[in-house]
Chains A and B, each alone.
Chain A
Amino acid sequence: MRSPALSRRALLTGAGAVLAVAVTGCAKKSGDAGSFPSKTLQLMAPAKPGGGWDQTARALQKALTEAKLAANGVEVYNVEGAAGTLGLAQLATKNKGDAHQLMVMGLVMVGGVVTNKSPVTLDQTTPIATLTAEQEVIVVPKDSPYQDLAALMNAAKTAPASVNWGGGSAGGTDQILIGLLAKAAGADPKAMKYVAYSGGGESKAALLAGDLTAAVSGVGEYADLVTAGEVRALAVSGAAAPAKLPSAPTIKAAGFDVELMNWRGLASPPGLKDDEKAAVVGLVDKLHASPQWQQTLTDQGWEDFYKSGEDAKAFFTAETQRIKAVLTEIGLA
């Protein structure tokens, strides 16, 4: 009798999920770093359930459990708001010194810290790793006069009012990419007309309805429409064309020196002892090497973008500087 057993478990998990959301958030003092993790890992997704960070957190939970790397289990909880900076503030203040607390974060948070003038910055966390990344894609409607990125950027440079750019929330990855592109093309980043939408879906609808000249979003958002011939991909933002859009040119190949990955990673609270930090990094290294995580990457279509420990720290710093500079030029910092 497989089904009834399953159903009971399902019900219990359901009740557990409700409780987990209600109960978590209380900080716990960490124990020794002897056999890490020595208790339940608390994994924060600093966004709504269903978003990119939440999906990453839940995928991590699944892979950590299946790879038997977390004997005491992993709990995911959400702290949503302000591009993740509310979660960041909570991690930096309430969870100080707790090695069993981890937070999913990424490029969007780097931008959020700048645009929201967050009092807590990423310097106040312990960087652990970058895990995955998604490329951005610049698309135009199928009947658009712009056949390549150079033509579009030329129009944006000579007549910025004629190009309606669309993408996700103000100051997010999409607008950052447009700012970087404008800079590289010799256009005025501040003059770019950016129409912000609350998500990739909304800007997609606006592009199809003809409100926008060009839209910018994650590759996953538009891959299907590009393949179906509904929109045309002018360029992708990574170093090489992604698997989902194998024939799209990169921005570099289109003649502009810009590369931008919408990466996601992990950070720990501040105040970890060196051996604790080494233990957390070691755990994530083991996870990254596990077949379960590699399978997750394939299943989700995420690009592997792994840097851990000191590499991750250096990368966080470099990205912060670059993003802060471009947001200042757009006029959002």
Chain B
Amino acid sequence: MSVWSDLLSGFGTVLSPENLLYAAIGVTVGTFVGVLPGIGPALTIALLLPITFSLDSPTGAFIMFAGIYYGAMYGGSTTSILLNTPGESSSVASAIEGYQMARRGRAKAALATAAIGSFVAATISTIGLTLFAKPLAGLAVQFKAQDYFALAVLAMMSVTALVGRSLVRGVLSLTLGLFIGLVGLDGLTGQARFTFGSMELFEGVSIVIVIVGLFAVGESLHVAARLKRLPETVAPLGASGEKWMTREDWRRSWMPWLRGTAVGFPFGALPAGGADIPTFLSYTFEKHRSKHKAEFGKGAIEGVAGPEAANNAAFSGVLIPLLTLGIPTSATAAVMLASFQGFNIQPGPQLFEKSGPIVWALIASLYIGNLMLLVLNLPLIKMWVQVLKIPRPSLYAGILVFATIGVYAVSGSVVQVLIAYGVGALGFVMRRFDFPIAPVILGVILGPMMELQFRRTLLVSNGDLTVFFTRPLTAVLLGLAVFALILPYLPRLIARLRGRTAQRLAFGEDD
């Protein structure tokens, strides 16, 4: 088959000692920069892009690029797991269970399942990219505005598991997120909303700043407030001779890895998909399916394995519209597009014909960068968990410093740093009164998407609401959303219906 021979020649281009060295540098630098709160893969690549331009051959640049990407992504999960400070929206889901695992002394297992799961997901989805790029690209552009709206509704309804124990608190958190999502210039008309006349707020409150504020800053304040009542270090390390993952961990991880991949890859391929929604979906799904439901919220390994796999699989998915149509669907993809253009490569339908060898070299780089990450990072786990030995006051002071640097690096603006602190204070209050954090992030991500696509639909249809029901795809997605909403209550509903019938029957017998 020609795909394989193309891929093989791609490997031929990429596999040289020099290129492998680039991959190693990329992975290492990416991991270290990605560890900073707020600096996710997109910003890491943007910051390191000038380096790749100084290389003579695009091949060397791409392989370093793939390394940086996987490294940054893994670096991000490391801090969310160890310190509950995710740097970007797609590692929020892994922080929920990962951090609880770390607190119970299972940091190594959490990091290992994240690394191996990422490797498995990236490998499978890269194969998917190799084989199905073209047909999937055709399918992806079938999605109209009303379908995206329905998809956002479905995602919103199906991740209610994130809401936590109290529905009222969860919905309040979600509402806060929806509100934050409204701040800034309206996407359709360019009118300012909730900006209080300040141009600094025109772009809205960046999701990165919300995440850094709520998690890194909020967590630091929360810890500081209770410092005397907590043990001196964050978490026990676990026995030093302990394996990364026990047999039981493997058994509980492999299905979530595969399921996460199955969710992440197609979602990433949608123009307007991205990696955050599938990670939340994967988390919810694992929680519903798990035999260890009681462990969720206290450190269930499935809750790390699934989202991490979904996150990495989504990236290969994101490459599909990027390479075949030139449509960047995530921040990382947008930066990649810029770097392609820096090498005078224009992604689009003719990319494979025009720049075939380079694209196959890029795809081969993904395989290698991914493998390199695993090889380098599994041994590094030992080093990362040492972070947990740092006494709390120093550790959280460090987190605050890095969070500040991260936000300033992203925005170059003191005002944004102050906004992050403000959001952090809010995060502290929310933690103090037991409000869940994840729904806020969900609101910020899904709110604007729902609103914009809803209004775009109505604009295109000249205000006709029936388009939501007459198009089969939209109707099916909305139907699934309704189903997802009533699903948790279904057993109770059925029981009640049955109970009532039984009672009535009994009644009848009495007559």
Name which of B218-226, B289-297, B333-341 contacts chain A: B333-341
Q: When the two chains form their complex, are residues B411 and A80 in contact, meaning their CB atoms are under 8 A apart?
A: yes
Q: When the two chains form their complex, are residues B48 and A17 in contact, meaning their CB atoms are under 8 A apart?
A: yes
Of residues 194 through 250 on chain A, the ones whose CB sits less than 8 Å from some CB of chain B are 195-196, 198-199, 201-202, 204-206, 208-212, 220-221, 223-225, 227-228, 230
Of residues 141 through 191 on chain B, the ones whose CB sits less than 8 Å from some CB of chain A are 141-145, 185-190
**Of listed B21, B186, B190, B321, residue having the most chain A CB within 10 A:** B190
Q: With a CB–CB cut-off of 8 A, which chain B residues contact A80?
A: 203, 411-412
Q: When the two chains form their complex, are residues B412 and A202 in contact, meaning their CB atoms are under 8 A apart?
A: no
Residue A164, interface by CB 8 Å: yes
Residue A300, interface by CB 8 Å: yes
Q: When the two chains form their complex, are residues A50 and B460 in contact, meaning their CB atoms are under 8 A apart?
A: no
Q: When the two chains form their complex, are residues B335 and A204 in contact, meaning their CB atoms are under 8 A apart?
A: no
Q: With a CB–CB cut-off of 8 A, which chain B residues contact A115?
A: 190
Q: Give the CA-CA distance A7 to B22 in the complex, in Å.
A: 8
Q: Give the CA-CA distance A54 to B328 in the complex, in Å.
A: 17
Name which of A81-89, A183-191, A251-259, A307-315 contacts chain B: A81-89
- Bits for B37-59, please: 1 = Cβ < 8 Å to A, else 0: 00000010011111101110000
Q: Give the CA-CA distance A186 to B92 in the complex, in Å.
A: 52
Q: With a CB–CB cut-off of 8 A, which chain A residues contact B327?
A: 201-202, 204-205
Q: Give the CA-CA distance A90 to B411 in the complex, in Å.
A: 13
Q: With a CB–CB cut-off of 8 A, which chain A residues contact B348?
A: 223-225, 228
Residue of A nearest to B68 (CB): A14
- Bits for B446-489, please: 1 = Cβ < 8 Å to A, else 0: 00000000001001101000000000000000000000000000
The smallest C-beta distance from B365 to any residue of chain A, in angstroms, reads 16
Residue B378, interface by CB 8 Å: no
Specify the main secondary structure of chain B where it touches its partner: helix
Q: When the two chains form their complex, are residues A82 and B199 in contact, meaning their CB atoms are under 8 A apart?
A: yes
Q: Give the CA-CA distance A291 to B271 in the complex, in Å.
A: 39
Q: Give the CA-CA distance A170 to B18 in the complex, in Å.
A: 47
Q: Give the CA-CA distance A208 to B271 in the complex, in Å.
A: 11
**Of listed A22, A85, A205, residue having the most chain B CB within 10 A:** A205
Instruction: Given A22-B408, A196-B190, A209-B142, check contact A82 B185 (CB 8 Å).
Output: yes
**Of listed A17, A115, A161, A198, residue having the most chain B CB within 10 A:** A17
Q: Give the CA-CA distance A184 to B409 in the complex, in Å.
A: 45
Residue B326, interface by CB 8 Å: yes
Q: When the two chains form their complex, are residues B202 and A10 in contact, meaning their CB atoms are under 8 A apart?
A: no
- Bits for A1-32, please: 1 = Cβ < 8 Å to B, else 0: 01110110111011001100110110000000
Q: When the two chains form their complex, are residues A50 and B334 in contact, meaning their CB atoms are under 8 A apart?
A: yes
Of residues 218 through 273 on chain B, the ones whose CB sits less than 8 Å from some CB of chain A are 271-272
Q: When the two chains form their complex, are residues A62 and B47 in contact, meaning their CB atoms are under 8 A apart?
A: no
Specify the main secondary structure of chain A where it touches its partner: helix
Q: Give the CA-CA distance A171 to B33 in the complex, in Å.
A: 36
- Bits for A68-87, please: 1 = Cβ < 8 Å to B, else 0: 00000000011111100110
Residue B413, interface by CB 8 Å: yes
For B47, give its contact among A18, A25, A221, A300 (CB under 8 Å): A18
Residue B29, interface by CB 8 Å: yes
For A118, give its contact among B53, B55, B199 (CB under 8 Å): B199
Instruction: Given A81-B200, A201-B327, check contact A170 B190 (CB 8 Å).
Output: yes
Q: With a CB–CB cut-off of 8 A, which chain B residues contact A9?
A: 54
Q: When the two chains form their complex, are residues B272 and A220 in contact, meaning their CB atoms are under 8 A apart?
A: no
Q: Give the CA-CA distance A205 to B453 in the complex, in Å.
A: 13
Q: When the two chains form their complex, are residues A227 and B199 in contact, meaning their CB atoms are under 8 A apart?
A: no
Q: With a CB–CB cut-off of 8 A, which chain B residues contact A225?
A: 325-326, 348-349
Q: Give the CA-CA distance A196 to B140 in the complex, in Å.
A: 20
Q: With a CB–CB cut-off of 8 A, which chain B residues contact A223?
A: 346, 348
Contacts A201-B328, A228-B350 aside, 20 further interface pairs with beta carbons under 8 A come to A3-B18, A3-B21, A11-B29, A14-B29, A21-B412, A22-B409, A49-B335, A55-B341, A58-B49, A58-B342, A169-B185, A171-B190, A195-B188, A195-B456, A204-B326, A212-B460, A225-B348, A225-B349, A228-B349, A299-B344
15 chain-A/chain-B pairs, Cβ below 8 angstroms: A13-B50, A17-B50, A21-B409, A58-B49, A77-B412, A116-B199, A164-B460, A170-B188, A195-B188, A195-B456, A201-B326, A202-B272, A210-B144, A211-B145, A228-B350
**A-to-B contact residues, CB < 8 Å:** 2-4, 6-7, 9-11, 13-14, 17-18, 21-22, 24-25, 48-51, 54-55, 58, 62, 77-82, 85-86, 89, 115-116, 118, 161, 164, 169-171, 193, 195-196, 198-199, 201-202, 204-206, 208-212, 220-221, 223-225, 227-228, 230, 299-301, 332
Which 8 residue pairs of A and B lie closest in terms of their CB atoms, listed nearest first?
A: A224-B348, A170-B190, A49-B46, A205-B271, A50-B338, A82-B202, A228-B349, A208-B141
